[in-house]
């Protein structure tokens, strides 16, 4: 069988296994990823299969983990680093943004940095502070890094392998709230390149763009909108840097309206960048301003308030109604 029904976490696990089987230079590093299999069990069983020299439990020291991965990449390895939770990435921020992102440029292309940094991110899991953040804009702003985020198990299986095969550093953002829902994974054909965005639902009245866990929320809103007579086209970004604008611009040319939805705060965000670019390139095709739906510009709240903070289908539908009212 070429198609399996898997949760996203298991799809990543299977993709990691395929990459490790294909290349003995692929090694995994992170806190509790070996014996425990990671706090979300994404690496479960891989230490047993490949051994402790390829699946390495590390100290609780994110800067040291990424710094070690940089050294391994210099020696010809392809390290895959797990940051246990999104909010724990900042001790490694200097290593990622001032070293990892710049070494290839600094060496005029002579030195590759094939490092993948896996980042479980986003809300909807009822966790405490530093466990539900969406820090992707910090890294999308940094030249030299590639950023991707799968929204479904099929993409997760293929994108992790494609990220590992890249000679550039790739930050692989994994939506925590989508780890467990299952979906079909075709293990013979990926369908889309790593940095391609994808139309996941066709429509004619308004385009909505999102990434990661937000894609499933947008699809819920699109179902409700359809029942109310509004046809919504949904685009999954998949790649956050670089962004594949061709499907977005083609869709806006058809619908004349765009809503960008994300969990992260809206100020100086991916949504801001997409809105600005679409206004620059498609101004005369727009029937309404590009609208953004996002988390609020505050620190992530306590778990009991996450439903207030995070965009839901109702907030997306409100933006759709406003776009249609012009």
For position 269, what pLDDT does the model report?
Answer: 97
Residue ranges covered by each domain of the chain: 3-186, 198-324
Confidence of residue 112 (pLDDT cuts 50, 70, 90): very high
Instruction: Return the pLDDT at 211.
Output: 98
Distances in whole angstroms, Cα of residue 313 to Cα of each of 31, 57, 255, 259: 35, 39, 20, 13
Distance CA 217, CA 66 (A): 33
Positions of E strands within 126-243: 146-148, 170-175, 182-186, 198-201, 206-210, 232-236, 239-241
pLDDT for position 1: 60
Pick from 301, 198, 178: nearest CA to 250? 198
The answer to whether the CB of 52 falls within 8 A of the CB of 106 is no
State which fold the 3-186 domain adopts: Rossmann fold (3.40.50)
* 81 phi and psi angles, rounded to 5 deg: -100, 135
Fold of 198-324: Rossmann fold (3.40.50)
Q: Which residues of 25-48 are buried (b: 16+ CB within 10 A; e: fewer)?
A: bbbbbbbebbeebbbbebbbebbe
Mean pLDDT check: name the lowest of 58-67, 241-250, 279-288, 301-310. 301-310
* CATH topology agreement for domains 3-186 and 198-324: yes
For the question of residue 124 being annotated catalytic, the response is: no
How large is the average pLDDT for residues 90-97?
A: 96
- Is the pLDDT at 64 greater than 80, yes or no? yes
How confident is the model over 34-46, as pLDDT tens digits? 999 999 999 999 9
- Spatial CB neighbours of 34, under 8 Å, sequence gap ≥ 6: 43, 46, 47, 52, 55, 56, 57
Residue in this structure with the two tokens 């925590």, named with its chain if needed: 176
pLDDT for the residue numbered 70: 98
For 121, phi then psi, to 5°, come to -140, 165
Residue 158 has pLDDT above 90, yes or no: yes
Per-residue pLDDT tens for 279-308?
A: 999 999 999 999 999 999 999 988 889 999
* Tokens 């894609």 sit on residue: 215
pLDDT tens column, 7-25: 999 999 999 999 999 999 9
**Per-residue pLDDT at 62 exceeds 90:** yes
Mind listing the pLDDT tens digit for each residue in 181-191? 999 999 998 88
Question: Catalytic pick from 53, 107, 130, 131?
Answer: 131
Question: Looking at residues 242-265, what average pLDDT do you find?
Answer: 98
pLDDT in tens, 113-144: 999 999 999 988 777 777 889 999 999 999 99
> What's residue 233's pLDDT?
98
CB atoms within 10 A of CB 281: 14
Q: How far apart are alpha carbons 67 and 51 in whole angstroms?
A: 22
């Amino acid at each position: 069988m070429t198609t399996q029904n898997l949760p996203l976490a298991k799809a990543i696990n299977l993709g990691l296994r395929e990459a490790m089987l294909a290349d003995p230079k692929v090694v995994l590093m992170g806190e509790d990823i070996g014996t425990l299999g990671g706090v979300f069990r994404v690496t479960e069983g891989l230490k047993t299969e490949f051994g402790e020299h390829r699946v390495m439990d590390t100290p609780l020291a994110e800067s040291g983990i990424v710094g070690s991965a940089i050294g391994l990449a210099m020696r010809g390895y392809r390290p895959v680093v797990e940051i246990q939770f999104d909010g724990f990435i900042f001790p490694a921020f200097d290593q990622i943004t001032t070293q990892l992102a710049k070494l290839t440029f600094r060496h005029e292309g002579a030195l590759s940095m094939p490092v993948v940094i896996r980042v479980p991110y986003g809300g909807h899991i009822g966790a405490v502070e530093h466990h539900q953040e969406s820090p992707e804009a910090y890294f999308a702003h940094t030249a030299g890094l590639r950023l991707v985020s799968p929204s479904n198990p099929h993409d997760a299986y293929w994108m992790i392998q494609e990220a590992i095969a890249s000679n550039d550093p790739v930050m692989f953002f994994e939506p925590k709230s989508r780890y467990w829902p299952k979906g079909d994974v075709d293990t013979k054909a990926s369908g889309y390149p790593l940095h391609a965005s994808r139309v996941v639902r066709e429509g004619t009245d308004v385009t909505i763009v999102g990434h990661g866990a937000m894609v499933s929320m947008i699809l819920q809103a699109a179902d409700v909108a359809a029942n109310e007579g509004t046809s919504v086209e949904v685009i999954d970004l998949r790649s956050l840097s670089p962004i594949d604008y061709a499907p977005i611009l083609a869709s806006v040319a058809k619908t004349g309206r765009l809503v960008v939805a994300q969990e992260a705060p809206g100020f100086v965000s991916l949504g801001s960048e997409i809105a600005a670019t679409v206004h620059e390139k498609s101004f005369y095709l727009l029937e309404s301003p590009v609208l953004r739906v996002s988390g609020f510009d505050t620190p992530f709240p306590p778990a009991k308030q996450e439903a207030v903070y995070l965009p839901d289908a109702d907030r997306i539908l409100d933006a759709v109604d406003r776009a249609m009212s012009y």
